[in-house]
Amino acid sequence: MTDKLSIKTRLSHLGRAGTHVHGLVNPPVHRGSTVLYPDVATRDAFRGQTYQRGLTYGLDGNPTHHALEDMVAEIEGGTHAQIVPTGLAAITVPLMAYLKAGDHILFPDSFYGAGRGFAERQLSRMAVECSYYPPCAPVEAVEAMIRPNTRVLYLESPGSYTFEMQDVPALCAMAKRHDLVSMLDNTWGIHAFQPFIHGVDVSIQALTKYVVGHSDVLLGAVVTASEEHWHVVRRTALDLGMYASPDDCWLALRGGRTMALRLERQLESALDVARFLAGRPEVAEVRYPPLPGSLGHELWQRDFTGGASLFGVVFQPGFSRAAVNAMTDALQLFGIGASWGGFESLALPVGTSLTRSFGTTFPAGEAVRFHIGLEHPGDLIADITQALTVLTANQPR
């Protein structure tokens, strides 16, 4: 489909048979494990078509998977996408694909916690060396950490808890000079950041978030910049037995149709709420790259066309964790829970509990991560206003 069309238009048409086909608008769900052939010769012809979508067995995927793969690849501007069952699997599959015993990888210190756990428990067990670098460090400082056995440079911009922005184009250019594979967790930037025009080799997506959009499906995707990279990722995913339910893929296709509109609305609401919080005396800092004056705003303005509705609020140093927890408990329109990207608003205290290698996470104090859903922003602001009275009431004098 031509890239001259708006992403909203493309999302409405991707993965469908076309406008001049008589039939249902949405494609059906294809379920199945066994694939039958009319004869042995036909079966033999399909063998070895791992990368050509030949139907050989359910694990290889079917038209439902392929339609979602096409949609995600189109969104990110990649050549191919591999669907996997969770966002965490979208992290672990490419790591397994490109790393072997004796290799070294550089992670940003803002690396997603579950991915960090995989690195420290599983990659270390496989004799892969893992190092962390400050997310906002100059390129030269990151370059100085490269070793002769460094194989992968991992990026996450912004970090999904601390919202540090990275200079992705500069870091990827540096990675190419050293023949490193660059991987980016682009879940926050889906639809707003085009990874491959900025030099990324492998893009990671938790489709659980905005693509699904309804907080009821776990899915992930690995998108690649080239055929060569896709073959590496695809082969590893199949070797690991990675398979996503076609029913879940169909729900993600359905969610993807409205993703651009939801993101647009949620971004506007998130900016309203973030501006309100930035003006409150209880707040030391709002970390939201689209917000002028926020950490990383200049990089966001340069490289992004939009954004997610997830941000962090750092409270003044005098407020205790107990007071921040009481404020969070007092919220009535915000759920308390992990994940984000759905239609509902969420709040999750994060504060100083995150694992970091370079000093404190939030120098000012305790923090709450807010996800803004589809509720009216005025209602959300009123809810936060009443909860802030609980914050101050629970603060020891």
Q: Residues 190, 277: one domain?
A: no
Quote the pLDDT of residue 52: 66
Quote the pLDDT of residue 49: 66
Contact 191, 257 (CB under 8 A): no
1 within domain boundaries = no
Contact 90, 205 (CB under 8 A): yes
Please give the mean pLDDT across all residues of the chain: 91
Q: Residues 228, 315: one domain?
A: no
pTM score: 0.92
2 within domain boundaries = no
Residue 47 pLDDT > 90, yes or no? Answer: no
Residue 60 corresponds to which amino acid? D
Sheet containing 283-287, strands listed edge to edge, beginning at the edge strand earlier in sequence = 283-287, 310-315, 367-371, 346-349
Q: Residues 250, 268: one domain?
A: no
Q: Most distant CA pair in the chain: distance in Å?
A: 82
Q: Residues 295, 389: one domain?
A: yes
State the pLDDT confidence band at 22, using cuts at 50, 70 and 90: low
Candidates 179, 189, 395; CA nearest to 299 is 189
Cα 263 from chain centre: 14
Q: Residues 107, 224: one domain?
A: yes
pLDDT tens digit string along 165-216?
Answer: 999 999 999 999 999 999 999 999 998 999 999 999 999 999 999 999 999 9
Region 299-327 average pLDDT: 95
CATH code for the domain of 364: 3.90.1150.10
- Torsion region of 211: left, alpha or beta (phi above 0 gives left; psi -120 to 50 gives alpha): alpha
Which residues lie below 8 Å from residue 232, measured CB to CB, with a gap of 6+? 97, 98
292 within domain boundaries = yes
Q: Residues 206, 91: one domain?
A: yes
66 within domain boundaries = yes
Q: Residues 41, 166: one domain?
A: yes
145 within domain boundaries = yes
CATH code for the domain of 132: 3.40.640.10
The radius of gyration of the chain from alpha carbons, rounded to an integer in Å, stands at 22
Quote the pLDDT of residue 1: 52
Quote the pLDDT of residue 203: 98
153 within domain boundaries = yes
Q: Residues 156, 287: one domain?
A: no
> What is the C-alpha separation between 325 and 353, in angstroms, rounded?
13
Query: Could you say which of 233, 254, 275 is where a domain stops?
Result: 254
Structural domain count, the chain? 2
Contact 161, 354 (CB under 8 A): yes
Q: Residues 238, 348: one domain?
A: no
Quote the pLDDT of residue 266: 97
- Torsion region of 359: left, alpha or beta (phi above 0 gives left; psi -120 to 50 gives alpha): left
30 within domain boundaries = yes
233 within domain boundaries = yes
Region 63-70 average pLDDT: 93
Quote the pLDDT of residue 353: 58
**DSSP label at 28?**
P
Q: Residues 264, 350: one domain?
A: yes
DSSP string for 341-395: -SSS-EEEE-TT-S--SSS-S-SS--EEEEE--SS-HHHHHHHHHHHHHHHHHTS
Q: Residues 133, 250: one domain?
A: yes
Which residues lie below 8 Å from residue 394, measured CB to CB, with a gap of 6+? 320, 322, 323, 326, 327
Query: Could you say which of 235, 254, 273 is where a domain stops?
Result: 254
Query: Could you say which of 221, 238, 254 is where a domain stops?
Result: 254
Domain that holds residue 20: 7-254
Q: Residues 104, 52: one domain?
A: yes
